[in-house]
Amino acid sequence: MWEYTEKVNKLFLHPQNTGEIENPDAVGEIGSIVCGDALKLTLKIDKKTDTIIDAKFQTFGCASAIASSSALTELIKGKTVDEALQVTNKDIAEYLGGLPKEKMHCSVMGQEALEAAVADYRGEAHPEVEEGEIVCKCFGVTDQKIRRVIKENGLRTVEDITNFTKAGGGCGDCIPKIGDILLDVLGKEAGRKTASPKKEMTNIKKIAMIQEVIEKEIRPRLQADGGDIELIDVQGNRVIISLRGMCTDCKMSGITIGDINKTLKELISDELVVEAQ
């Protein structure tokens, strides 16, 4: 059984602001019955002051989805629409005293329902629905949503992204693409450029650079997940590595090796090819 906080349990068993507002000024609907969770948020808004005077929800989902929905309505009531838009999924999770990491997507669903409702109120289209490219077909998650959640929550692994968005949690076909988006966002965040020296370099220099990138860029990410990496050999452009710790038998090890390959290509040379021993 999940370890829920007292607040989550309380709001699950006694949710506040349930139901649907009659003649609402805004409606935000997110998720679907197929995906396993869905939230419909209805708002009554004082149009003179732009203040949310009432908020109600209907949720199909687990305890954390219901508690997150309840928390959202509590957090936004009495706020102006602009103030309400400042409420993030982190605020929802904090209000609940935290959520299990695998359930963070419930808080994201709350934030999205609010944004959808505000877009409805303002007669705008929900930007992620309109502009995003579907990356995860199982759960209908767009690249735009993935990028935003990475930035807003400081995510560092594909697993984090799955926990926050569900993307990659179905058939898994989209995991390489999610990994690419993650690397792209992290690369841009770090402001790093492809420092790849395209000209021929000596083997000694190549090995030194590979070791440095492993030490600074790759190992910390793997160690954060209980894994590690060992550089076994460099033969021309073939980089032979071995995964260690939790990475050894991880079902995502193929993705991990792909990520390592991409990082080494990006930072050292496009010609490098990583092989696991």
Residues 160-219 that bind other proteins (CB under 8 A): 162, 166, 169-170
Among 21, 26, 39, 92, binds other proteins (CB under 8 A): 39
Partnered with residue 43 across adjacent β-strands are 26, 55
Q: How far is the CB of 61 from other proteins (least distance, A)?
A: 5
Nearer to other proteins, 37 or 160 (CB): 37
Among 45, 59, 77, 126, binds other proteins (CB under 8 A): 59
Among 21, 66, 84, 218, binds other proteins (CB under 8 A): 66
> What residues contact 243, with CB distance under 8 A and at least 6 apart?
222, 227, 228, 229, 250, 253, 256, 257, 276
Q: Is 258 in the site for other proteins (CB under 8 A)?
A: no
Q: Is 63 in the site for other proteins (CB under 8 A)?
A: yes
Nearer to other proteins, 1 or 204 (CB): 1
114-117 contacts at long range (C-beta below 8 A, 24 or more positions apart): 114/28, 114/41, 114/72, 114/76, 114/84, 114/85, 114/87, 115/28, 115/85, 116/27, 116/28, 116/29, 116/30, 116/41, 117/26, 117/27, 117/28, 117/41, 117/42, 117/43
| Residue closest to 229 by CA, chosen among 276, 273, 175 | 276
| Residue closest to 73 by CA, chosen among 33, 34, 17, 23 | 17
Catalogue the active-site residues: 35, 106
Among 38, 71, 141, 182, binds other proteins (CB under 8 A): 38
Measured CA to CA, the distance from residue 238 to residue 28 in angstroms comes to 52
Measured CA to CA, the distance from residue 252 to residue 159 in angstroms comes to 10
Q: How far is the CB of 104 from other proteins (least distance, A)?
A: 12
Nearer to other proteins, 15 or 127 (CB): 15
Q: Is 15 in the site for other proteins (CB under 8 A)?
A: yes
Residues 129-148 that bind other proteins (CB under 8 A): 139
Helices (H) and strands (E) in the chain, counts: 12, 8
Nearer to other proteins, 29 or 152 (CB): 29
Q: Is 37 in the site for other proteins (CB under 8 A)?
A: yes
Q: Is 225 in the site for other proteins (CB under 8 A)?
A: no
Q: Write out the residues near other proteins by the rule CB under 8 A.
A: 1-2, 9, 12-13, 15, 18-19, 29, 33-40, 58-66, 102-103, 139, 162, 166, 169-170
